[in-house]
Amino acid sequence: MWFIYVLSWLSLVIQISFVTLAIGELFLGSLSNTESCLLFQFSTGVLAGLYLFEGFPTLMIGVGLFTNLVYFGLLQTFPYIMLSSPNFILSCILVVINHYMAFQYFAEEYYAFSEVLAYFTICLWVIPFSFFVSLSAGENVLPSTMQQGDDVVSNYFTKGKRGKRSGILLIFSFLKEAVLPSRQKMY
């Protein structure tokens, strides 16, 4: 029980760091491949520690390790992530499976809330969250220092046929209209 207790305190530090740094996007906004590899190694090490010291189920740890491997495959083309790539689709499916398995396990075994939150933070959320926050890395760069399409945002906005919206822009446009429908101007 000592391993997950220590993880709960480490998780608290990570959560505070994410909140602090994500607001300013100082660190995570420019996450390099080296720092990403360290996150993968850290998460993999924690999963191994949970298996060795806490006796977590082999299947749950195995799926977590496989998920980290799939995330590592996304790093090969990052920051260009194709929403239709098999690697991205598999990572989305594995996120759901990991969460389901974690909810099932923690429903059967008692752990303090901080320890459950530590597992979710370090093993399930730290890598996808760092990918998501790192997507905005190109937004703070002056246009004169980049070629068109060098960052994820420009890639999605300029990709596709003339005038046709595609990818993430289409999804956000649909959500905007569904949540905040535009009003017709009356003259």
- Residue range 14-20: average pLDDT? 72
Select from 67, 120, 126 the least CA-distant residue to 97: 67
Total Cβ atoms within 10 A of residue 141: 12
Whether residues 147 and 91 fall in one domain:
no
Residue 185: DSSP 8-state:
P
The model's confidence at residue 142, banded by pLDDT at 50, 70 and 90, is very low
Whether residues 49 and 97 fall in one domain:
yes
Q: What is the pLDDT of residue 13?
A: 81
pLDDT at 177 exceeding the cut of 80: no
DSSP letter string over 2-38? Answer: HHHHHHHHHHHHHHHHHHHHHHHTSSGGG--HHHHHH
Whether residues 46 and 107 fall in one domain:
yes
* Whole-prediction pTM: 0.64
Residue 167's domain comprises 143-179
Whether residues 86 and 125 fall in one domain:
yes
User: How many Å apart are CA 25 and CA 18, to the nearest integer?
Assistant: 9
User: How many Å apart are CA 76 and CA 93, to the nearest integer?
Assistant: 19
User: How many Å apart are CA 118 and CA 112, to the nearest integer?
Assistant: 10
CA quadruple 129, 120, 93, 40: dihedral positive or negative?
Answer: positive
Q: How many domains would you assign to the chain?
A: 2
Whether residues 90 and 149 fall in one domain:
no
Q: Could you tell me if residue 185 is inside a domain? A: no
Select from 121, 133, 111, 129 the least CA-distant residue to 28: 133
Q: Give per-residue pLDDT as tens, 24-46.
A: 554 444 556 666 778 888 899 99
Burial track 168-186 (b if 16+ CB lie within 10 A, e otherwise): beeeeeeeeeeeeeeeeee
Q: Give per-residue pLDDT as tens, 73-87.
A: 888 877 777 888 899
Q: What is the pLDDT of residue 162?
A: 47
pLDDT at 157 exceeding the cut of 90: no
The mean predicted confidence, pLDDT, of the chain is 76
pLDDT at 65 exceeding the cut of 90: yes
Q: What is the pLDDT of residue 76?
A: 81
